[in-house]
Chain A
Amino acid sequence: MIKKTVDNVQDALDGVHDGMTFMLGGFGLSGIPENAISELVRLNLKNLTCISNNAGVDDFGLGLLLRKKQIDKMISSYVGENAEFERQMLSGELDVELTPQGTLAAKCQAAQQGFPAIFTPAGYGTEVAEGKETREFDGKMYVLEEAYKADFAFVKAWKGDEAGNLIFKGTARNFNPLMCGAAKVTVVEVEELVKPGELDPNQIHIPGIFVQRIFQGKDYEKRIEKRTVRSK
């Protein structure tokens, strides 16, 4: 077994610096790497490019970095839950590359799996495809989208072992597995770090080969963005 564990979030983020490009897992606030985000806020890195489906809310998730103007550019599919984000974008302080959600997923997966680019029908004929190569296959038009290039991927998993094998929970899985191995360094935080052998190899979602560093996360808030219930 090749051990991937590091002691804490400080060690996990060793090597990050201003101007880097990060991938961050999560959909809304579900499955976001809370510990890594807190550390990025504490380190006060600047001029960052962040690839993440959403941008958090004003006071949680990536919203914490936006509030401190740490991010120069966001690559996301939907940013509607964050008023500060919308303000910075409309005022031109923040560069934003809005990307269809399935394309964003595919561009992460392409980086993970060694494809330089993929063809997708999403966005053909819209401003998203402007300036991009298009091609016809079987009578339908597709847009060429290149794989992302990132320095670090910050991933949140439910359980992981010391070898970096990961299991995700519910819809907190989302973009997290696709970002593993899609950046130069993949850093994973887990709710439960276990010894090798404790996870059933049949149940592993992501093998440890895609992970460079794994650590036991702490103090998870796991905030719910829209609490909706029904009465009994």
Chain B
Amino acid sequence: MLDKEGIAKRIAKEVKDGFYVNLGIGIPTLVANFVRDDIQVEFQSENGILGMGPFPFEGEEDADLINAGKQTITALPGASFFDSAMSFGMIRGKHVDLTILGAMEVAENGDIANWKIPGKMVKGMGGAMDLVASAENIIVAMMHTNRAGESKLLKRCSLPLTGVGCVTKIVTNLAVLEVTDKGFKLLERAPGISVQEIRDATEGTLIVEGDIPEMQLN
């Protein structure tokens, strides 16, 4: 079973040369640490920067330079700043190649829920609704089950939706899955995890065709 860093490592392999990438808060943020250094990639943060760099050295933090998670960051050579309308123009206009975000639930038709638990947790959708409504290449990074051990890969989402039919790929601590017309298609298993374990942890339709390879993380 993968930890959060393992999920990030596997997703990093989906980041290709020349990609502009938007990383959500949580596990997605870790992906930047594992992207190959022999390819050219720029990270976009929707609060208004392209060319986001690593955290600053101590003493060099700038209140005017943060990411979407409100963390202090740096700007790499070639970076640019812009307002929120232009930022979401990049997203809505499909200029961003890959979006990686977390989720509370994903349904087998590609619906995603990640912004609200009625009566309990209401933090807001931030930029998630804009991202999922526009991006064509969306990878969800999440644990396969919630803290109560219940599957987060469902036939239908039970929580209020963030977007409909938009998720294309899911990387969890157990598996890599693709969203197809017929359900979740199992592509890869996490090291040491059996197909049966993935089946047991998936409430939605799981499609298993032939031998399922183990993930390659390096």
Q: Interface residues, chain A, CB within 8 Å of chain B?
A: 27-31, 53, 76-81, 86, 89-90, 96, 98, 100-106, 108-109, 120-128, 158, 168-178, 205, 222-232
| Cβ-defined partner of A27 (8 Å) among B66, B73, B91 | B66
In the complex, the chain A residue whose C-beta lies closest to that of B162 is: A126
For the complex, give the distance between the alpha carbons of A230 and B123 in Å.
28
- A46 CB → nearest B CB, Å: 24
For the complex, give the distance between the alpha carbons of A120 and B55 in Å.
33
Given known pairs A109-B85, A224-B72, the reply for A100 and B127 (CB within 8 Å) is: yes
Extra contacts besides A101-B46, A178-B84 (10): CB < 8 Å? A78-B125, A100-B125, A101-B126, A127-B161, A128-B129, A176-B83, A224-B63, A229-B56, A229-B72, A230-B54
Question: Interface digits, B62-80 against A, CB 8 Å rule (1 contact, 0 not)?
Answer: 1111110111110100000
Residues in B with CB closer than 8 Å to A174 are: 47-48, 83-84
For the complex, give the distance between the alpha carbons of A231 and B60 in Å.
11
Greatest chain A CB density within 10 A among B49, B57, B61, B70 is at B70
| Cβ-defined partner of B47 (8 Å) among A98, A126, A171 | A171
* Contact between A123 and B124, CB atoms less than 8 A apart: no
Question: Interface digits, B104-117 against A, CB 8 Å rule (1 contact, 0 not)?
Answer: 00000000000110
The total of chain B residues at the interface (CB under 8 A) is: 52
| Cβ-defined partner of B64 (8 Å) among A96, A100, A222 | A222
* Contact between B124 and A223, CB atoms less than 8 A apart: no
* Contact between B133 and A124, CB atoms less than 8 A apart: yes
Given known pairs A170-B62, A173-B81, the reply for A102 and B130 (CB within 8 Å) is: yes
- B36 CB → nearest A CB, Å: 20
In the complex, the chain A residue whose C-beta lies closest to that of B119 is: A90
For the complex, give the distance between the alpha carbons of A98 and B46 in Å.
17
For the complex, give the distance between the alpha carbons of A79 and B54 in Å.
25
* Contact between B127 and A102, CB atoms less than 8 A apart: yes
For the complex, give the distance between the alpha carbons of A104 and B55 in Å.
28
* Contact between B57 and A230, CB atoms less than 8 A apart: yes
| Cβ-defined partner of B88 (8 Å) among A30, A105, A169, A227 | A105
- A31 CB → nearest B CB, Å: 7
Residues in A with CB closer than 8 Å to B71 are: 226, 228
Given known pairs A90-B119, A105-B83, A170-B65, the reply for A225 and B70 (CB within 8 Å) is: yes
For the complex, give the distance between the alpha carbons of A102 and B129 in Å.
8
Residues in B with CB closer than 8 Å to A29 are: 63, 70
Residues in A with CB closer than 8 Å to B87 are: 102, 105
Residues in A with CB closer than 8 Å to B4 are: none
Residues in B with CB closer than 8 Å to A86 are: 122-123
* Contact between B92 and A121, CB atoms less than 8 A apart: yes
* Contact between B85 and A106, CB atoms less than 8 A apart: yes
Given known pairs A80-B124, A224-B72, A227-B61, the reply for A175 and B83 (CB within 8 Å) is: yes
For the complex, give the distance between the alpha carbons of A27 and B73 in Å.
14
* Contact between B133 and A122, CB atoms less than 8 A apart: yes
For the complex, give the distance between the alpha carbons of A175 and B45 in Å.
14
- B47 CB → nearest A CB, Å: 4
Greatest chain B CB density within 10 A among A172, A177, A231 is at A172
For the complex, give the distance between the alpha carbons of A205 and B72 in Å.
23
| Cβ-defined partner of B66 (8 Å) among A168, A171, A176 | A171
* Contact between B127 and A173, CB atoms less than 8 A apart: no
Q: Does B160 contact A (CB under 8 A)?
A: yes
Given known pairs A121-B92, A126-B161, A230-B56, the reply for A27 and B126 (CB within 8 Å) is: no
For the complex, give the distance between the alpha carbons of A165 and B115 in Å.
38
Residues in B with CB closer than 8 Å to A122 are: 92, 129-130, 133-134
Given known pairs A78-B123, A98-B124, A229-B56, the reply for A223 and B63 (CB within 8 Å) is: yes
* Contact between A105 and B84, CB atoms less than 8 A apart: yes
Residues in B with CB closer than 8 Å to A176 are: 83
| Cβ-defined partner of B130 (8 Å) among A100, A172, A227, A231 | A100
Given known pairs A27-B66, A178-B83, A229-B61, the reply for A120 and B72 (CB within 8 Å) is: no
* Contact between B72 and A106, CB atoms less than 8 A apart: no
| Cβ-defined partner of A76 (8 Å) among B56, B67, B119, B124 | B124
For the complex, give the distance between the alpha carbons of A53 and B130 in Å.
14
